[in-house]
Each structure stands twice: as C-alpha cells, then as structure tokens.
A and B are shown apart, each in its own frame.
Chain A
Amino acid sequence: MKTSFGGSNSSWRRWNCSKWMVVLLLVGLIVGRVDVPRSAAAQGSLDADNIARATVFLAGVYDVPGGRAISCVGTGTFVSSDGLILTNAHNVTDSVRCPVDDIAVSLTLRLGEPPVPTYYAEVVDYNLGLDLAVLRVAREIDGRVIDRSMLSLPFVELGDSNQLRLDDTITVFGYPGLGEDPVESTRGTVVGFLAEANVGERAWIKTEASIPGVMSGGGAFDSQGRLIGIPTTAPAGTSGTALDCRRVQDTNGDSLVDSRDNCIPVAGFINALRPAALARGLVRAAQWGIRDRGHQFSGQVVAPAGDSAPTFGRLFFSPAVNEAGLPTTRVTQLPAGANSLYLFFDFANMRPGTVYELRVTVNGIPNPRFSLSPALWSGPERGLWYIGSSGQPWPNGTYEFTLFIEGIPVGDERITIGGPAQATPQFSDIAFGLLDFRGNVVGSGYVLPSGNVASALFIYRDMIDGIPWEQVWYYEGVEVPNGRVAGTWNLGPNGSTTISISNAQGLQPGRYRLELSIQGALSATADFVIAGAQQGAFAQVFENLRVANLLTDETLGSAGSTSFPNTITDLYALIDWRLLAPNTPWTYRWLLDGSTLFEHTEGWVAPESGSNFWIALGSDLHLPDGTYTLELRVGDLPPVTVSARVGLGQLPVVQGNTASGVRMSGQIVDAQTGEGIPGALFILLEAEFSVQDFVWDESQIFGVSLSDSQGRFEIARLLPRDALYSVVVVAAGYLPVSADGIVVEADAQEPVILRLEMNRDL
C-alpha cells in the first residue's frame, strides 16, 4: 500500500497493526472460545481407560501337591457391573489339557501395570461350539463369597456386530502374556466376514490386526467403545501345530520346574473374531439368571452311530447359499469380479469341541482373509456344512481350500477365479416338494411330509440337447434302490423341470439327497428331509405344544398353561412329535420378550414318533417376569412356537446398568499437608438434589465412595452426561465441604477428576 508518509508512518502502521492484533486477540478470548483440537482418541467415543479396566485376565487354576497351579490363561471382558464376564469357552471349561478347578480373575487395578488377581469366577453358561462362555464373579481371592449387589465393576456394552462394515476400525483389548504384562490394545480394520452353516453370513469377523493367542476371549470394540467381537481361536496345541508352552510353576511338587511339570499353552496369533451377536443371548440369559436345562423325554435315547473318527468329504464350491443353507449350484470356476464363494462339504462323527480349520491359499500363497484359523466345531454330528463369504471381492487366482481336523488335513479342493464368464451347461436351485394336481411342486422346499412321492424342481441353463446327464437319490447317505437315473438331455437350453422319486410302501422319514450331474460331473446337489405327517403340502412334525412348570403325571397329561406366577423356577415345553427320524437336524430356540436366549441345532435322538418330549429352561432363584417363547424348526419348515407368560409377562426395567457415562474420581487431601485423607466420605447426590435438599437419606445418593489410604476415591457407577451434580464430602476432624453445579457435559468424554482440599478447624 502506497503511503504519502515517510518512515514514521511505517512505524505508526506497524504499531497500529500490533495494537489491532492485540485487540482482536483479546476480543476473541473474551467473547469467543479458542477450541483446542482434541486428540484423535479424545474425539472418538472409545473410552480406552474404561475398556482396559473392564478387560480381565483369566487363569484356570487346579490343585497340585502343595498348592495351586495355573493350567491355561486367556482374556475376558466384564459385560455387567455385577461381574459377568464374556470370554471363550475353551478358556474356562475343564479339559485334559486345561484342568480347571477354579477360575482366577485378575483385574487391571492401575493402568499400565500388570493385572492383579482379585476374584474367583464360576461358569454361568457356555456354548462349546461357538466357543463362548459367560462367567460370573463369585468369590474374593481369599475365598469369601461375594455379595454381588455390592459390586460395581467397570463394564462394556455389547454392540451390534451386524452393523459392522468392511474397513471399519476395531480395537482389540487383551493381555498378551501370562499375566506379567499390562493390558494392551491392538488396532485393526475389518477385512472380511466368514459365513458358516447354522450361523449365517457373519459367523466370523476377519481382521488383519495381529492378535496374540493369549488375548483369545478378550474384546474387539468399535469406534464407539462397544464390544462387537471376541477374538477366538482353538486352544493352543489342539490343531497339530507346534505348541508354545510355558513352564512357570512346580506342578508336581518335586521342587523343580522342568519338563515333568505341566506347562501353560500359548496359542499363536488370532485374526478371527466371534461376532458379539452370537453372545448376546448367553449374556442376556446370564444377566437374568436363566439357564438352558436342555431336553429329555421318557424313553430310550437313540444311540449315536459309534465312536468313529470325524471326517470331511465331498468338497465342492457354490457361488451362493440359499435360505435353507444349501448350495445353489456347483462351480469349478468363477469369472473375474466374483464376490461370493462357499466351500461345501459333508461332515460326519463331529462333536462339539472338535477342532477344525480351513486354510486357503491363492496361487500358493496363504490368504488369511478367507482362511479360518483353528476353531471349535459348532455343528451337529453329521450333515452338510459350508464356509465362505459374500459381499467382498475374491481376487483372481487359483484357490486351494484345505480342511483340517485336529491339525490333520482331511480334504482339499481347488477353484480358479478369473477370466470371462463362461456359459457352460448347469443345473441349479433345486427345491423339493409335492406335486399338486397341476404338476407344480409345492411345499416348504426342503422338508416334505411322509408319503410315497418326493419331487424336485430345478433350473437348467445353457444345456445342450443330447448331452448325458444323471440324477442320483440317496437316503441317509446310501443310494436308494432305483435312485440313479441317467439320460440324455432333451429339454432345451434353459428352463426348469421336475423329477421325482417314489416308493409304493412310502418314503421313510429321514434325510435324503439329490445329486444332478452333467457329463459325469456333479452340477447341483441338495438335501431334504422327510418328516412329519402331511398337512396340505407341508409337513407337521411337532404338535400338541404346551408349557408347564413341573414335570408330573398330572402336567404331562394336561393341556399346560399360558400364565405362571413369577415364583416358579422352571418352564417345561412339552411336545409330541411324528415321523422324525433319528439324527434329523432340528433346532430349538428360547426367546424372552422376543429376544433370543438360547438356540441349538442338533440331531434328533428320540424315536421316530412319541409324546411328552420336554425342553426346559430354568433359574436357580426364580424366573424373571417375561413372555417366554419356544420355537421349534426342522429344516426350512415354518417354526412352531409355544409361549407362556411369567408374572407380568414383561421383563422389569433395570436402571443404571449402562456402560455409557463418565467416571468420576479424584483425591481428597489435607489442605495443610497435601497428603491424602483416608476414610473421607465422598457423596455424589442424584442430579435432582442439591446440597440444600440433602437430608442424609441414601435414596438421594447417586454414588458414594470412601477414600483409600491415599485419599483416592472413585464413584463406581458411570455418571450420565448432560447433568449437574452436587457433592458432599465429610471426614472426621475436618470441616465438611460441599458444592453444587459439578457439570458433566453432554459430550464429555474424559473422566471427571476432582481434587478436594479439606481443612481442620483451627
């Protein structure tokens, strides 16, 4: 800017500029607010400190000569303030490799320091197949029984793992060592989801985060700090891989720690998480003290097929899974851009807890994203299983899928992805039913009522008249007589057609399979079940469903009840059934107020027909109020349900059990010495009360804490945000202090830390 003045003007201008800058700065400070950008951690909602405190180190302990020894270790997470812990089942269930007489729970009492053994826990419930367990803190470390109502432990809330997306950031918390290291967190992203039969599309969450094996059972958290997954891997040493086992204690009482002592196995690394959605029912049931009492009937159990070795066989690929969990078709090659692929295979003699594994290589290079690290079997004893994924790209290449059972390879199959789509003759989408008078196939699709005929409808594409094709029918794994029909195709290139199987004496109830081949190669396959009596086009397997709270001759013969008082401890759902062959997969699911508590799929073990088969759930104290529903399913038949109301028919509302909020803690010190005042009482009033309103009634108190030997205090419950609180502090020999207006902002993320100085009277 040109000026008509000399040097004095430039100094005047500099001075003026400075003056204005100062004025503007002052105005800004007085009128406005300078927002200091917060760190990334502060801007997110992940309360790492609370999660670290809620993450516990679990050690299975057992009795040895002269004391107790640790057998296996893992991580868990508090999911309720009264001490429920979610972890892997294999961490806490007694086994040959991991004998467990007690479960020691160590807490991170000081951030940055190793955990300290604080409690013993007991198993509330577990699902060995899903490898999930819920524990409850039961005793202090000195053996005293705990009054759970006194506990107010840090905990986390379960998030909705179904809302997770690819590339979402997750943070995994756990203990990397044998208890000598503080809790650690590992950040990663979601790189995929694995589907499995019986569970669905999100049986596993895959992450590229490198999670040490000892963190198995810990928690994976979304950006909001909610638990969305549980790092899970089979117990160390069960997959046939080299075992990292640490010897730390003299377990045989010979005053030496050597190879003759038991060691603590440490697994490798984990990259798969069990979604929290699979644990929600277990946790909810544990919170309400409800247990699955299983099922029984008054008759002879059909013996299992024998103790043969578990096997996998007949591996093949399908690009999709239908609603019945069956392959749509079989493929040996997929075009470039494929985003869905499933490996199907038959399994037999599998039991819950059997360790299986899928290793996938692409062009010879291991691909952990599509592999499944050693896991515990969650399916029934025999049937058709699948592992795969959809909704995420499968890169081009030659894939080799190898299945392992207990570390031993039991089958492999290859597929090539890439290149253009090829129009090859193909069968797909087999569905089963009965033929109506118009020749249409009607029915549920995969469960047919007993009868003489079973029909299958399937789609054909790009078929060429004249090529040989074949249909093969199986019953319980054995080809049915006259079940193999070969022929030459003459129905044109595209369309659908129906084929049937019949038996004049009636088709036996049980599991059937149809395989369709083209030119000698399997093109499509599907399984179906014949069960139950015919009811129109559908099968009716279960009938006369009723509910009772006792098993007596009277209740067995009665019509049951739909309403019970809330003093009962058990509910029995009684059912009659017809024509359900042993080993036929069936599913039962208990729901409470519409939310799933337990769900099990297993092979039928009762005779083909009968009555008074009961399925029960119960509680050690009494069942909480609510509407209890039992769902029964066979295959894709519409579920049959029975419900009963206990008490008011609705779960009571529990206040205060939320993990969202802000922690308040601090220190009370002597104003003269600066030293902490032990035994000072810090009282935080409910938000609606001020100090003036306080009449020393505990109903007005939100939380109270007695200061420890260093004057530290902590309010155990988290403070709801967007509220004003009042505080009263008293200590013997000191002038009491109080204050209104302790603000917890609506967007507060940091804990509220107070430092209070108290004075003695002069």
Chain B
Amino acid sequence: MEGRLVFPLPPEEPLSRVQRWAHAIAVLTALLGFALGFLLKAQIVGATTPFRDLAAGVLAQYPAGWLLDTQGDYVFRARDPGAPGYRTTLQVALVPIGPDATSRSIVDGLTLERAQTLAGYQVNGTEPFTLPDGDEATRLEYAYAETESNPFLQSLPVVVRGVDIVTIKRGQAIIITFRVEQDRFEDEFWRLEQFLATLELL
C-alpha cells in the first residue's frame, strides 16, 4: 500500500447569498415547525369532549378520550384510561342536603365517610375557594392509598392525591372531585383548572 497522503482542506470560500439565506430559512422553518408541533401537542393533550346533563344542571368539558361513566351515584365520572397506576379522575356528584348544611359541613361529612372506606385517608387542607363563575365553595385536599379491589390480583397500593370542591346550589351539594396519582399531581392539576373553567352549573 502506498503511503497516505495528507491533503489539507481547501480554503473556506465565503458563502453565497443564496446559501446563507437557505440556512437561515432552514433554521426558521425548524423553529416554526417546532411551534406547530407543540401547538398540535397542546391541542391533542387539551382536547375535550362536552358533557351535558340538563336534568342535573351540569354542563362541562372533560378530557377527550377519557372513560365516561354515568351509572354510579354521581352525575358523571371521567377517568384517564392511559394514566399509569391510578386513573386520573374527574367527577361531579350531587348530594341532597338539609337547609342548615354548609359546604364545610359537607366536607366534614365526606371526610368521615371516606375515612371508613379509603385506606390511609388523611386530609391535607381545607380552605375557602371561589369557582371561576364566582360561586363560593370549599376546597378539600386529601390523600389516601388506592388498593386493588380484586383480591385475586396483586398490586401495590398507589398514593393518590385528591381535591374536592364543594359548593351548594339550589338546595343540593355539588361535589367536584379530582384525583390523581401523587407523583403526577402537579403535572395534571391543570386538568382540574381546565375543567372548572368549562363547568356550568345551571
């Protein structure tokens, strides 16, 4: 084999105008593309589906692609089927109350009831809250360990953080529940905010 020859690089020629602009346009295109991409992401992630129950007086938008359940003792419940671990839940329930009930007393009642059925239930805070439409409410934050109800499956308990917003309207208590696995609580909280912004209580 012949010895290698070293060929120095040719002197760098200045770029032509077209070349310079081509690069600049490429960079701008990339940035624009990213913007469109993130816009698409925001659209997909934030897509919602309308829910109407005129009998119950509830209009809302819940996240698209979530499992909707209207069969239980609530107006509706939507759960994220793709959430890892605990399925993030948004729920609206109506509870008849007496004339002297306050949202705070209802919250206390919820606590007493849940302490019987939810493992490791503890309240993390109760404070007044104002709904986007100006209605006064009480916000209850709590946590508990979600366990598998099917004893034949072996799952580790999952720590769930929940937020209940309780308001009284037309002689009944409206309980808005948001529950998410505690690791993703901060990342998913915007869903509650989005939901509350679209919620109409007739």
Contacts and interface: CB of A to CB of B under 8 A. Distances in A.
Interface string A633-653: 000000000000000000000
Contacts of A697: 67-69
B151 interface: yes
Interface of A: 53, 107, 109, 116, 118-119, 140, 142, 144-147, 150-153, 678-679, 681, 683, 696-699, 701, 705-710, 712-714, 716, 730-733, 736
The 8 closest A-B CB pairs, nearest first, are A732-B84, A708-B153, A698-B69, A708-B155, A145-B116, A118-B151, A679-B85, A730-B82
27 contacts: A109-B151, A116-B151, A144-B118, A144-B119, A145-B116, A145-B117, A146-B117, A147-B117, A681-B81, A681-B82, A681-B87, A696-B81, A697-B67, A697-B69, A699-B69, A699-B70, A701-B67, A705-B153, A706-B87, A707-B153, A708-B155, A709-B156, A712-B153, A712-B154, A713-B153, A730-B82, A736-B82
B152 interface: yes
B64 to A, nearest CB: 8
Given A53-B152, A697-B67, A736-B82, 4 more contacts: A118-B151, A705-B150, A706-B155, A712-B154
A48 to B, nearest CB: 16
A714 B150 contact: yes
A107 B151 contact: yes
Nearest to A710: B154
Contacts of B119: 140, 142, 144
A696 B84 contact: no
Contact of A696 (B67, B70, B156): B67
Given A698-B67, A699-B71, A151 B155 contact: no
B49 to A, nearest CB: 8
Contact of B84 (A116, A144, A151, A679): A679
B185 to A, nearest CB: 16
Contacts of A708: 148, 153-155
A731 B67 contact: no
A696 B68 contact: yes
Nearest to B68: A697
Interface in B45-98: 65-71, 81-85, 87
A152 B68 CA distance: 21
Interface in B151-174: 151-156
A57 to B, nearest CB: 13
Contacts of B19: none
Contacts, number: 81
A94 B74 CA distance: 40
Contacts of A150: 149
Interface residues of B, number: 27
B19 to A, nearest CB: 34
Interface of B: 65-71, 81-85, 87, 116-119, 147-156
A670 to B, nearest CB: 13
A699 B72 CA distance: 11
Contacts of A151: 149
B68 A714 contact: no
A77 to B, nearest CB: 16
A540 B80 CA distance: 68
B67 A709 contact: no
A678 B157 CA distance: 12
Contacts of A152: 150
Given A144-B119, A145-B116, A709 B155 contact: yes
A441 B190 CA distance: 90
A676 to B, nearest CB: 11
A10 B85 CA distance: 72
A683 B117 contact: no
A109 B69 contact: no
Contacts of B85: 678-679
Contacts of A710: 154
Nearest to B146: A706
Contacts of B150: 152, 705, 714, 716
Contacts of B71: 698-699
Given A144-B119, A145-B116, A709 B82 contact: no
Contacts of B69: 697-699
Contacts of A146: 117
B7 to A, nearest CB: 40
B152 A733 contact: no
Nearest to B65: A696
A141 to B, nearest CB: 9
Contacts of B117: 144-147
